[in-house]
Chain A
Amino acid sequence: MTRKAAGLVLLAVLACLLPHQLNIYWIHVADVAVIYGILALGLALTMGAAGQVNLAQVAFFGVGAYASAILTTHGWPFWVAAIVALLAAALVGLLVSIPALRVQSHYLGIVTLGLSLAFTNLVTNTALTGQADGLNSLVVPPLFGLNLSSDLVYYYVEIVALALCLAWAAFVVHTRLGRRFRAMRDDPLAAASIGAEIPYLRITAFVLGAVFGGVAGVLYAGLIRYVSPASFSLSSMFFVLAGFIIGGRFSLLGAVGGAVFLVLLREELSNYEAYAQILYGGLVVVIVVFAPTGLVGIVRSVAKAFKRRTERFSEGRAQVSDEASPTGLSARPYRAVRLSDGGSLAGVADSSAALLIEHVTKRFRGLTALEDVDLLVPAGQIRGIVGPNGSGKTTLFNIISGIYAPTTGTTEVFGFRTTRATSYRLARRGVARTFQNLRLFGRLTVRDNVLVALDQSRTIWAWRYLLWPFGVLRADAVMRQEADALLALYGLLEVADSLPGVLSYGTQRRVEIARAMARRPRILLLDEPAAGLNGQEMHQLAEIVRDVRASGVTVVLIEHNMGLVMSLCDQVTVLASGRVIADNVPEVVAYDEAVIAAYLGESSGDNGPRPAQVNT
């Protein structure tokens, strides 16, 4: 940690000393580079952190620059105009984010690209913006008597601006809002299931990116003192995008560094425009194919390999290294707690059913996945849902957790009608779930995975980032303590700083459960939690489930492992071909003829010897 801070101070010192080595032309180039760095930082927030494809960043740049230019041309004081320009950029960011609520990925790319073109077209033709030739002879920004027409002095102003922007961006990324962004980026479905309000997050991401673009635009207007549509064209957009990708799309410093690097490169090759384009276009392709995390990613892997080699030379410390287990890092064995774990759910004698599903049918374009399914789960029960493959179990879970809406029928959670509620709304009502094929946030550490789930705040809470950052930091510290307690409970404290990818499969499953429990849910849905676990891990899973129920949480699990189901569940519902064919205590269901027929087929004739009870 200290090493990183020291490195940054060193960088800052170098940045301050740099201009004394340069003539005024190169200082000017450095000024332009810093501006593009701030612009790329906006991309790092929208695309890198929140995963929203944002090819309109250059339009936000333009809004900031043009708003500042137009207002100052009409006599407004520069810094007042600057604030208004930032607000204008934020507003445009808000508008551009609306398509992001409906489409993502390459669709969003094309839509935002089109909106960029619309912006360029608009300013090329409006008299207010000076049409094709833009606005020239803009005022020099006044600042406490400093001579800002000097590119050298302007450089220092920009460096301060860059430092502030970087610091604030880092602040956002490493605290709750940034964590939510990154969770949404890694897996929007899972993020919604733990309460992230996806639409508001997308809007916020675009607004943030737009504000950074606006800052870059205001600085641009003050530096070049000439704004024209040519500076905010598609080729500028690709240029910033290339810098962002080449530098490292998941790193703030990488984004800035990449943009600065490209500006300097382009200036060096200024008389060889075509070659410069081939170079940075080719670099983008190479980076995307061979090193998608950019130059920063390459540096990090080199550093990690170097660190691992030096660690190997240090003697016998009981370090948990990647060689510890062939299947990855493992959690501590789980110790049954059998205490109620706090929260408002301890020993709830709730009269309303935890879950009530009535006549739910789900059709997908001709395929009927569920047909008239009824399900009532009383509070505090451990309910099992079983059935052959393709019987609709996961579809049922998806409907309960809000990923699908049923074609007909209703669902209720603790008396609240939830038929058409979205995932994150259901998460707030106390529904938590795990997924059949593990949906952990791959680029977040285990601790961060849990922290995202612990965060119960609404997105609107984010206004504190601007106006009361200390509140954010304090809340983060509190959450960290809670997270560590939860991780210790689940035996995951040692692996808390690892990425999920290096963990063993069983440990990853446990992380998913811990994450779901971090929500302090009232209902926990487990989708095939035992798949891929060995005997010991399955035993621990059973312990965990019992402890979860003891703390007042209703558990519903889908499972194929009959032994686990029989020993764990109070009641079992059997689905086959989308219908409920049995719904009773495990002992009765196990001998139900329809159930056996569904699993083994009609032709099995005589039922054979009664299956012995298997204790795990």
Chain B
Amino acid sequence: MQLFFQTLVGGIGFGAVYALVGMGFTIVYRTMGLVNFAHGQIAMIGAFLSATFFLDTKLPFAVAAIMSMAATAVVGLAIEGILRPLEARDFDLMLIGTLGFGVVLEAVATRIWGATGRAVPAPVDRPLQIFGIIIRTYDLVVIGVGAVATVAVWVLLNRTKAGAAMQAVAMDRDAATSVGIRVGRSNAMAFALGAGLAALAGSLAAPLLYVTPSLGSSLGIKGFCAAILGGFGNINGAVIGGLAFGILDGFAAGHFQQYSDTVTFLVFAVAIMVRPTGILGELTVNRA
């Protein structure tokens, strides 16, 4: 029983991370029509920045994470300019182009921070004991922060003018322009938001894993799987898919130990074949 709950909590913890990656990725897709496979590498950059602020500049973990989100958002604005021409290409080319860009980001990170990587201690590391079940406190922190971020994003998109503008652009770019929305600026903001979420995901994941340039690849792939599993283009889907994928991953690791990746991705492939539109159904974007 204890094993089950511990695995569940751990799985939800990772699920929150994947949900954040998936959300950022989906927001960028919904607003700009860009399927960005370099999104995981952006999360990795956020992780490195956060680790640097936390370990070198000795800032408190939360402050380091927030600063990393801001810095990564700024970096995201620069990246958006480079990726903009890809939006006009078909999905296959977008996939390949952004994959290539991801390779570049990974190599740049290696040059800046080295290849060995950094271990980030968790800000809270005492395990919690609830009803005889030992749970990593940090897992609960991650889940909590993830939930708060999800609500904040929802509020931003549905209750603010900027968010409404982003959604309008996603539905119909020309109509949005004709009502006075600055599409370019809205897109840049959307990308920055996506990058910020990615950085948050990376910062939260850092103490759970190990910050290396290759972290982006694994977070990215799992984040995309999460987004597709929940329903591609559906922001709520990204959250559900993230949690589902995290739990799948956690239980696969628990039961199949080293074979967890094999099992996880096989189950994912079967799930997508059974229901290609994902759990909540996909929302495609009208790309002019």
Question: Which A residues form the contact surface with B (CB < 8 A)?
Answer: 47, 51, 53, 98-99, 101-103, 105-107, 109-111, 113-115, 117-122, 124-125, 234, 238, 241-242, 245, 273-275, 277-278, 280-285, 288-289, 292
Contact = CB atoms under 8 A, between A and B. Distances in A.
16 contacts: A51-B92, A110-B221, A111-B269, A114-B221, A117-B221, A118-B266, A121-B265, A122-B259, A125-B259, A238-B99, A242-B100, A278-B107, A280-B103, A281-B102, A282-B100, A288-B96
Interface of B: 35, 82, 85-86, 89, 91-97, 99-104, 106-108, 110-111, 217, 221, 224-225, 228, 232, 258-266, 268-269, 272-273, 276
Contacts of A275: 107, 111
A138 B34 CA distance: 46
Contacts of B96: 241, 245, 284, 288
B192 to A, nearest CB: 20
Nearest to A282: B104
Contacts of A121: 258-262, 265
B97 A103 contact: no
Contact of A292 (B89, B103, B111, B273): B89
What are the 8 A-B residue pairs with the smallest beta carbon separation, nearest first?
A284-B100, A281-B103, A114-B265, A288-B97, A121-B261, A277-B107, A281-B104, A118-B265
Contacts of A273: 107
Contacts of B272: 99, 102-103, 107, 111
Given A117-B221, A288-B100, A106 B95 contact: yes
A359 B35 CA distance: 42
A277 B104 CA distance: 6
Q: Say what secondary structure dominates the interface of chain B.
A: helix
Contact of A103 (B82, B86, B100, B276): B276
Contacts of A120: 261
Contacts of B264: 114, 118
Contacts of B262: 118-119, 121-122, 125
Nearest to A275: B107
A284 B103 contact: yes
Given A124-B258, A284-B101, 13 more contacts: A99-B272, A102-B272, A106-B95, A111-B269, A114-B268, A115-B269, A118-B266, A121-B258, A274-B108, A275-B111, A281-B103, A284-B96, A285-B101
B259 A109 contact: no
Given A284-B97, A289-B97, A113 B221 contact: yes
Contact of A125 (B97, B107, B224, B258): B258
A70 B261 CA distance: 23
Nearest to A51: B92
A99 B33 CA distance: 24
B35 A277 contact: no
A278 B269 contact: no
Contacts of B268: 111, 114
Contacts of B258: 121, 124-125
Contacts of B224: 110
Given A117-B261, A277-B107, A278-B104, A288 B269 contact: no
B173 to A, nearest CB: 20
B285 to A, nearest CB: 12
A102 B276 contact: yes
Contact of B104 (A98, A102, A285): A285
Nearest to A120: B261
A289 B81 CA distance: 13
B111 A288 contact: no
A102 B258 CA distance: 29
A234 B217 contact: yes
Contacts of B92: 47, 51, 53, 105-106, 109
B85 A289 contact: yes
A124 to B, nearest CB: 8
Contacts of B82: 285
A98 B269 CA distance: 9
A520 B115 CA distance: 63
